[in-house]
Amino acid sequence: MSYQVSPVGFVRSCFKEKFAIPRQPQLAPAARGVLELVAPFDQGEAVQGLEQVSHVWLLFLFHQALEDKPRLKVRPPRLGGNTSMGVFATRATHRPNGIGQSVVKLDKVEPGRLWISGIDLLDGTPVLDIKPYVPYADIVDAATNAIASDAPPLIGVQWLKAALQQAQGHAQRLGEPLVELIEQCLAQDPRPAYQVPTSEREYGVRFWDVDVRWHYPEPGMICVLEVVPAG
C-alpha cells in the first residue's frame, strides 16, 4: 500500500549545503530562514492564529538523502560514524520515507511566509506539514535518551581580525546575524569525527551567499580564516 503526500512549502535557509548544519534544531539560534508556502496554503487563512504560537514542529523531507532501498541499521555521526544502530533508534537522515522533524522558533508570520530560526534545514527542504508546539504535551520532564543524553560538546571558535571584519560587513549587507551563525555552527565542530585535522588542513562551507573558511590551529579549537562572497 502506498500513500501520496505533497509539500505545503519549501524552506529558504541560510544553509546551502549539508556540511556544518547543526545535528538538531535549537543548537544554532542564529540559523534563520523563511518557509515559503505554496498554493493553496499561501493564503492568509492557512496561518491565521499562528501568530499566537512561539514554536512550530516542521515535518519535512530529507530531499537530499532519499534512497530507494530502506536501511535497517545506520551509523549516526554522533556516535563517531563507526557504530551502527537500528534506524528507529536514531534521527539519521537515511530512513524509511525520508521524513525529518524539527521544532523551530517562529519569528514572524505573514500570509504565505513563516520566518523561522534555530533551524537545521537545508535550503530547498520540502515541508510536508506544520504543527504548533504544545508545551504541556510536548515537554516530557521524565524523558531520557542514553544514546544522545546531552547536546554535543562545543569547541572554541576564534577569528583572524580580517575575517571577523569581513563577516561583520556581510552581516550588515544581509541583515542577518552572520557572526553568531558562524560561531554557533562551527562550535559544533562540523568535521567528520574520524578526521583528525592537521593545522594546515582547511575546511569551508557556504552560509547564505558567502564562503566561510577555517582551520584547527590546535585540537579542539577553530580559527576562522576568511568570509568571502561565494565563488
Interface ranges with ligand SAM (CB under 6 A): 18, 21, 23-25, 62-65, 91, 93, 100-102, 120-122, 125
Shorter beta-carbon distance to ligand SAM: residue 63 or 206: 63
Minimum CB separation from ligand SAM for residue 5, in Å? 15
Shorter beta-carbon distance to ligand SAM: residue 33 or 177: 33
Shorter beta-carbon distance to ligand SAM: residue 1 or 146: 146
Shorter beta-carbon distance to ligand SAM: residue 168 or 206: 206
Minimum CB separation from ligand SAM for residue 132, in Å? 17
Phi, psi of 138 (to 5 degrees): -90, -20
Shorter beta-carbon distance to ligand SAM: residue 28 or 163: 28
Minimum CB separation from ligand SAM for residue 212, in Å? 16
Minimum CB separation from ligand SAM for residue 48, in Å? 27
Minimum CB separation from ligand SAM for residue 58, in Å? 9
Closest alpha carbon to 93 in 67, 127, 68: 67
Shorter beta-carbon distance to ligand SAM: residue 163 or 212: 212
Minimum CB separation from ligand SAM for residue 2, in Å? 21
